[in-house]
Structure formats: structure tokens, C-alpha cells
Amino acid sequence: MCGIVGYAGTSSANADHGALDVLIEGLRRLEYRGYDSAGVAVVADGAIHSRKKAGKLVNLENEIAQAPLPESVTGIGHTRWATHGGPSDGNAHPHLADGGKLAMIHNGIIENFAGIKAELLADGVEFLSETDTEVAAALLGKMYSNGADGDLTKAMQLAVQRLEGAFTLLAVHQDHPGVVVAARRNSPLVLGLGDGENFLGSDVSGFIDFTRRAVELGQDQIVTITPESHSITDFDGNPAEGKEFTVDWDAASAEKGGFPSFMEKEIFDQPAAVADTLLGRSDAEGRLTLDELRIDAEDLTKINKIVVLACGTSAYAGQVAKYAIESWCRIPVEVELSHEFRYREPIVDKKTLIVSISQSGETMDTLMAVRYAKEQGAKTMSICNTNGSTIPRESDAVLYTHAGPEIAVASTKAFLAQITATYLLGLYLAQLRGNLFSGQIKDILADLGKIPAKIQDILDRSGEIKELARSMADASSVLFLGRHVGYPVAMEGALKLKEIAYIHAEGFAAGELKHGPIALIDDGQPVFVVVPSPRGRDSLHSKVVSNIQEVRARGAKTLVIAEDGDNAVKDFSEFVFYVPETPTLLMPLLATVPLQIFACELATAKGFDVDQPRNLAKSVTVE
């Protein structure tokens, strides 16, 4: 997601760097987050000076080389990952307001921007971009002039009380050189403390080259920095405090946010990835509003079959989707490997909805399958994490996940975001077709909204699964069993081990065990079992418990993922990791996480580079 840097310093105290040096270096450190444009604004000579450019950071640097900025000790910088409005110079941040006297940058989504924009348009405000950020900037400018009496911090307090959604906002004003004001709600922001200078960043990577003293900011807080001071309030203006800490890793590892690998960092990003993918998808009445779809609602009501196209991990996300969509919508769903689909003369027509899933949006096998489906007259929709990539551009519709950039080759947070997006699609179709009552959809959305906190609970207890993984560093084979939605979870758990630990791993439907795979069980064979909830599907739960007994009787080492309170598995398991209770169809968002942690830790214990496993690329752009 977006990268943010703010700086307030003094030229006398820090002769070796000015605002622009800090901003550019901070943005470079934050490039790992992914972005499609970059920009900066500095306060100098009693005015705001800004440069911004679509594309990579080098484009911005070239722009500044051609049109230099004056020396300054106050500024803000931004790398943007497009949400409202496509990647362009005009939509890039910063955005100006108050007659060009104020500049703002923003990470997140302002959900009620449309109503505020209409109000501002009625007041005569002109907008130059398609972004919600410019709306927030214009609102801040209005508050600064009317109500805050020229106090930028007070203006921010008034503005954020009008905003809904998730956001980090940073602003500077020409009337206040040496001051940066920021606000945080459901979006990351950290304060850096220096000597005669202070910093703001999306994470400490944004200022790690200049200080290791940092302050963790809380929810719904506003921070004002000057070269010599910082002050924190809540949104109502009441004094508040942050939590100071010392960064104990160097700049070389800053891109990983302090984690030993991108993969582990991305596993720990998953609460935000799921939350961001859910953000802004429903209106005040709780109805889903998937504005990106671009397929007429009437056409969607006529769909009589869905075909999911994907490869690898994305295909397992599709398998989870099949259970949910068929249950909620009563539409048959097929899940096809993209590279097999178009070579078997599949039966698709204008009443078929093709749903392609690709993190990068550039997977060649999937792209070619989508093109084939379009030739047959099918409607095509993409679930993708990369704005503007080829598959979304060539599809009739797109539903973007908002997982942020995923750098490690083995997918983790993109997988959970993809599953989340397919749930949104299934609920939207159920809403259009009348398969579920509005109250039922609201209840499911409410359950989805609780998932990020439940994932965080699992992450907080990750030491349990890491210890298990380290104890199994010499394992040469691990099997995985699951039923219903636990089956694709089992296959994904096995794939992670194959990808990064290079050992034999297989995922099986637990009911298939006695039809052949049980022959693989011998003394000491590790077997992970994903146990369904004992609530609501008692027959499945008892059958899987029987599977645990079957493999244990043949010498297997049984490792169980079960729901809190499921005591029936304890007597038959060497290890049990409990995940929070959640409805059965949503369980993959939780049960997958400990298997990701296990694979990452086991591969690390074996001494392998989990971010760049051998023979694999992040995006497969050839057939």
C-alpha cells in the first residue's frame, strides 16, 4: 500500500541533509510496499512547492532534476498505490488545497468522500483529480479557514471528525514552516524522534537512516511535529500518548519491517490485508456495493455457472470459493487450472461467469484462459492484487484485493485476501439473486469483520507453532488432511512446504485416506489434520476425528488444527493448535495461518531462503 514520509528539521542542526534528502531516501526505503506514482511537497520561501509523477521513484527524481525544488527543512513525501482514480500524474499525491497553500498526502480510503465532495462542490471548490485524498485536503483547507482560526492541528481535528474509513493523513501549510500534522485511523503511522528533527512514516523504514528512536501511535490519534517537539492528541483534541520504542535492526533490513524475511512479514500483514480487502465494500444499510465490477447486475442474475480459473495457491483460494458460493448462491462452481482449461474444449457461454484469480494479474496461463473464455462469449471477472495489470484490464470486471505488495515468492497474505474477495463476490451475487436475506448477508459481513482480530490472535501465539516446526527440522515428508473447506487448506499447507522447504508434502481429502493414501503412513509420519468445527457439521467432525485415529493407529505423528473448545481431539493428537471460533465457511482464513507459520519456520530452520525459493518466480508470465 502507500508509503508516507514526513519531516520537520533545522538546517543548522542537520547540515548534511534537508527535507528533500529525507523524503526521497524514505520513499526509496518504502518502495517494497508497491506503488504506481510518487510525489513530494516542501515548505520554503513562504510557499508550498510540489512535484509528483506517475511511475517509479526515478521518474519523480528526474522531474525534480529538471525543475529543482528550493532548499527546505519541512516536507511530506508519498508513494501511491491507486485506489480512487487510476495511476496518473494528476492523481498522484500530494494534493493541494486552500489556494495552493496547503498540501496533503494520504494512505487508505475515505468511505464518505462522495457526500463531502458534493458539499464542497456546492461551495465552489474545484477538483483536479479523481481521488478521495483531494476531497480530504479540500475539507482540511475549509476547516483551516473556517473554524480553526489558522491552527493546522485544530483544523485536522475538525476534519477527521467528518471522515469515515481508514486513513493516514499528513499535511503541511505555507503559513506554518517547520510543522507537519498527521492523523491516523485504521492505517499505519509511526513517529521518529531525532536531534533537532522529527519524522513520520508508514513504518520505521521511512526514517531508519536517520534515527532508531520511534513512537508507536494509537488508533484515532493526531500528531504534530516540529524540529524540537511533538504533541499527540485524540481526534477530539484531548492529550494522548504514544508508546516509544527503539528499533533494534539496521537499515538493510528496514524493507522487511524488522522481520527476518519478507514471507514472515507478509504472514504478519494478514490482519491488515483482510481488513483492507473488506474496507469500503458496503453502504450504510449494509448492502454490498462492489463498484469495480462493471458488469450489469441484470447480466449477473442470469448467470447459471461459474468457472474459477487460477494456478497454484490462487487455485486453492478458488476451491474455498466453490464451497461458499455454491452454499450462498446455489450456482454450480467449477474450479479449473488455467493451463488445462482451454485445451479440453470447455463448455462456456454467455451465461457463464469466468472468475480469474491472480495476485499479479500477469499470470500468462490465466490470461490466455481468460482470452479463450471471452472468445466463447462468457462474462469475465478478475480478482487481482495489482492495479492496472493485464488480466484486470482485459476482463469485463475486476475485484481488487488490497493486500499490498507481496514480495516473497510463496504467497501468504494474497491467498487470504483472495479468499476474502471471493466471499464478497459470493455475497454480492446472493444479494442480487435474492438467495440470502439482507439480514443474513449483514451477519456474514459482521463475521468477516471479526476475522482480522482473530488472525492477530493466532499470530500472537505463533511461538507454539514455531517451536513445533523447529523440532521437525529434519522431517523429509509431511502429509495434510482436511474435509469440506479444510481440504483446500490442507493442499495449501502442503504446497507451502514444497515451495520453501523442498520436502515431500501432500494434501488429501480426509475421506480419500482409505482409498489409497493411507499406505503412506508408517511409524513417525507427521500428519497435519484440519478438523472442522464441532458446531453445525457434527457428522464431518466425527468422521475427521475417526481419520485421526486411523492414522495414529498406524504410527503417525498427528498434528491438529482445531477450533477453540474442541476437546475431542486432545486424546488422539501429539500437538493441537487451536484457532478462534468462526462460521465453517470462513474457517480457511484462520486455519491456513498456522500452516503458513509452520512452513516458514521449518524452512528457515533448514537454512533455506524462504523469500526466493529455488526454481520459482513470483509471477509466471510464460505459459
Report the C-alpha gap between 353 and 363 in whole angstroms.
19
Report the C-alpha gap between 140 and 512 in whole angstroms.
61
| Longest alpha-carbon distance in the chain | 80
Is 2 assigned a catalytic role? yes
Report the C-alpha gap between 202 and 208 in whole angstroms.
12
Q: Are 59 and 40 in contact (CB under 8 A)?
A: no
The residue behind cell 471522515 is 163
Nearest residue to 204 (alpha-carbon basis) of 249, 144, 143: 249
Nearest residue to 115 (alpha-carbon basis) of 84, 85, 92, 136: 136
- Active-site choice (2, 329, 384, 600): 2
Nearest residue to 202 (alpha-carbon basis) of 79, 83, 111: 79
The two beta strands, 47-54 and 197-201, are: unpaired
Would you tell me the crossing angle of helices 486-501 and 312-329 to the nearest 10 degrees? 170
Half-sphere exposure of 177 (CA within 13 A, CB side): 14
Backbone torsions φ then ψ of 181, nearest 5 degrees: -115, 135
Q: Is 264 helix (H, G, I), strand (E, B) or coil?
A: helix
Report the C-alpha gap between 383 and 357 in whole angstroms.
5
Q: How far is CA 49 from the centre of its chain?
A: 32
Helix H or strand E encompassing 192 = strand 190-193
Burial class (CB in 10 A: 0-12, 13-18, 19+), 612: middle
- Active-site choice (374, 498, 543, 618): 618
Q: Is 74 left (phi over 0), alpha (psi -120 to 50) or beta?
A: beta
Report the C-alpha gap between 602 and 596 in whole angstroms.
10
Contacts for 74 with CB less than 8 Å, ≥ 6 apart: 7, 8, 9, 19, 42, 43, 44, 172, 177, 178, 179, 180
The two beta strands, 190-193 and 197-201, are: antiparallel
Residues tagged active-site: 2, 618
